[in-house]
Structure 1
Amino acid sequence: MKRTITHLADGRELFYYDRRDDADRGAVDPRELPPRPRASQMRYDPLMDEWITIAGHRQTRTHLPSPDECPLCPAHPGSEIPSDYDVAVFENRFPSFSFSGDGSTGGYPLGGGFADPGGLSAARPGVGRCEVVCFTSDHDASFGSLSAAQVELVMEAWADRTAELSALPGVEQVFCFENRGAEIGITLPHPHGQIYAYPYVTPRTRHMLGVASRHRGGNLFADVLAAERTGPRVVASNEHWTAFVPAAARYPFEIHVYPHRRVPDLPALDPDQRAAFGPLYTGVLRRLDALFGVAMPYVAAWHQAPVTYRRDLAYLHLQLFSIRRAPDKLKYLAGSESAMGAFVNDVAPEDAARMLREYPITS
Structure 2
Amino acid sequence: MNIRTLGAGVIARDTRLADGRELIYYDDSDTTLPVERSIDARDLDPRPETAIMRQDVLTGDWITFATKRQNRVLMPGADADPLAPQTPANPSEVPSLYDVAVFENRSPAFGPALASAVGTAPAAIDPPQGLDDMARVGIGRSRTSVGRCEVVCFSPEHAGSFGTLSPTRARTVIEAWADRTSALSALPGIEQVFPFENRGEAIGVSLPHPHGQIYSYPYVTPRTQQLLAHGTPGLFDRILEFEQASSRVVLQGQHWTAFVPFAARWPLEVHLVPHRHAADFAELTVAERDELAPLYLRLLGGVDALYDSPTAYIAGWHQAPVHVGRDTARLHLELISPRRGVDKLKFLAGTEAGMNAWSAEILPEDAAARLRDAISSVPAP
TM bucket by the smaller chain? over 0.9
Asked if residue 150 in structure 1 is aligned to residue 165 in structure 2, the reply is no
Partner of 2:63: 52
How far apart in 2 are the matches of 1:65 and 1:145? 20
- 1:69-116 deviations in Å (ceiling 9; x for gaps): 11111122231111111110000011001114443248xxxxxxxxxx
Determine the structure 1 residue equivalent to 2:132. Answer: none
Map of 1:361 onto structure 2: 378
Corresponding residue for 1:274? Answer: 289
Shift of 1:67: 1.8
Deviation at residue 315 of structure 1 after TM alignment: 1.1
Identity percentage of aligned residues = 51
Give the paired residue count: 348
What letter corresponds to residue 202 of structure 2 in structure 1? E
Q: Secondary structure at the match of 2:231?
A: helix
Q: What is the one-letter code of the residue matched to 1:88?
A: A
Q: Distance in 1 between matches of 2:192 and 2:140?
A: 22
- Give the structure 1 partner of residue 103 of structure 2: 90
In the alignment, which residue of structure 2 is the partner of 1:73?
A: 84
Which deviates more, 175-184 or 4-13? 4-13
CA offset digits 1:213-233 (Å, max 9, x no partner): 4xxxx6112211111113100
Q: What residue identity is the alignment partner of 2:124? A: G
Report the RMSD for the aligned CA atoms in angstroms.
1.6
Give distance in 1, aligned partners of 2:23 and 2:36. 10
SS in 2 for 1:312: coil
Task: Note the C-alpha offset of 1:313.
Answer: 1.1
Pairs within 5 Å for 1:1-16: 1-16=10-25
| Letter of the 1:343 counterpart | W
Q: Alignment partner for residue 190 of structure 1, among 205, 209, 214?
A: 209
Question: Among residues 26, 35, 43, which one is paired with 2:46 in the alignment?
Answer: 35
- SS of 1:273's equivalent in the other structure is helix
What are the superposed Cα offsets for residues 140-182 of structure 1, whole Å, 9 maximum, x if unpaired?
3321121221111101100100101011111111110000000
Tell me the residue number matched to 2:322. 307
| 1:236 corresponding residue in structure 2 | 251
- For structure 2, the residue ranges without an aligned partner over 5 or more in a row are 1-9, 113-120, 128-137
Contact 1:7–1:14 (CA<8 Å) still a contact in 2?
yes
8 A contact 1:264–1:315 mirrored in 2: yes
Q: What is the 5 A alignment of 1:314-333? A: 314-333=329-348
Residue 83 of structure 2 contacts residue 93 of structure 2 at CA under 8 Å; is this kept in 1?
yes
CA distance in 2, matches of 1:23, 1:273: 30
Runs of 4+ in 1 over 3 A off after TM superposition: 20-23
Q: TM-score, normalised by structure 1?
A: 0.92
Kept in 1: contact 2:49–2:124 (CA 8 A): no
Aligned amino acid, residue 141 of structure 2: A
115, 121, 124: which one pairs with 1:103? Answer: 124
Would the aligned equivalents of 1:176 and 1:302 in 2 still touch at CA under 8 Å? yes
1:4–1:25 Cα contact (<8 Å) kept: no
Match of 2:156 in 1: 137
Q: Distance in 2 between matches of 1:361 and 1:240?
A: 21
Distance 1:33 1:334 in 2: 43
Contact 1:17–1:86 (Cα < 8 Å) also in 2: yes
SS class of match (1:225): helix
CA distance in 2, matches of 1:67, 1:182: 17
Deviation string, structure 1 residues 115-152 (Cα, Å, up to 9, x no partner): xxxx7231111111100001111223321121221111
Say if 2:53 and 2:64, in contact at 8 Å, map to a contact too. yes
**Stretch of structure 1 that moved more, 59-68 or 180-189:** 59-68
Deviation by residue 1:30-63 (Cα, 9 ceiling, x = unmatched): 3222110101111111110111111111111222
After TM superposition, give the deviation of residue 241 of structure 1 in Å.
Answer: 0.6
Tell me by how many angstroms 1:26 deviates: 2.8
Q: Is the 8 Å Cα contact of residues 47 and 122 (structure 2) preserved in structure 1?
A: no
Q: CA deviation at 1:5?
A: 1.1
Task: Give the distance between the partners of 2:357 and 2:276, measured in 1 at CA.
Answer: 32
Which consecutive unaligned segments of at least 5 residues does structure 1 have?
Answer: 107-118
Q: Is the 8 A contact 2:267 2:362 kept in 1?
A: yes
Instruction: Report the alpha carbon displacement of residue 309 of structure 1 after superposing the two structures with TM.
Output: 1.6
| SS across alignment from 1:152 | helix
Using the TM superposition, give the Cα deviation of residue 19 of structure 1 relative to its aligned residue in structure 2, in angstroms.
2.4
* Secondary structure at 1:313 match in 2: coil
2 CA distance for matches of 1:101 and 1:333? 38
**In the TM superposition, what whole-angstrom CA distance separates every residue of 1:181-208 from its partner, at most 9, and x where no partner exists?**
0000011111100001100000001111
SS in 2 for 1:257: strand
Q: Secondary structure of 2:47's partner?
A: coil
Cα contact 1:222–1:315 (8 A) shared by 2: no
Residue of structure 1 in register with 2:134 after alignment:
none
The TM-score, its normalising length taken from structure 2, stands at 0.88
